[in-house]
Amino acid sequence: MDVNGVDSDGKTALGRASGDGLIMEVKELLGVPGIDVNGADQEGWTPLLRASVRGQVEVVALLLGAPGIDSNRGDRLGRTPLCLASQYGYHEVAKVLLGAPRIQVNGADRDGRTPLCRASQ
């Protein structure tokens, strides 16, 4: 079985479980050798981005603890997990992301908007 395989929407099992807040499934998948914690769908949405934009605080915290996680990887438009969590008002997710090592708090998307700018929208 290919743990990094994608479904018809281009999402991995980890991506789907992360966005849906399925904590036990995310924990189990993170323990599978060879899991791609940064695997993105065709829009560039990683499991961390998907969990962040859906307000899944516990999943975001789990993913941030995964070896190799890229907390600043954005989608095709350059929107990072911190950008989108800020824009959609997921304050608890944003707090968890702000505690991540190497988080880029002033990273701008392709439109030049930073997380602070998006939070003010």
Kindly report, residue by residue over 58-78, the tens digit of the pLDDT. Answer: 999 999 999 999 999 999 999
* Torsion from C-alpha of 27, 3, 48, 71, nearest 10 degrees: 100
Residues 82/94, Cβ–Cβ less than 8 Å: yes
Phi, psi of 12 (to 5 degrees): -85, 170
Is residue 86 pLDDT above 80, yes or no? yes
Residue among 17, 21, 22, 19 nearest 3 (CA): 17
- What's the confidence (pLDDT) of residue 1? 66
Beta bridge partners of 12: 6
Quick: pLDDT tens for 8-62. 888 899 999 999 999 999 999 999 999 999 999 989 999 999 999 999 999 999 9
**3-class SS of residue 93:** helix
What the chain holds in terms of domains, given with CATH numbers, is 13-119 (1.25.40.20)
Look up the pTM and report it: 0.92
CA atoms within 13 A on the CB side of 12: 26
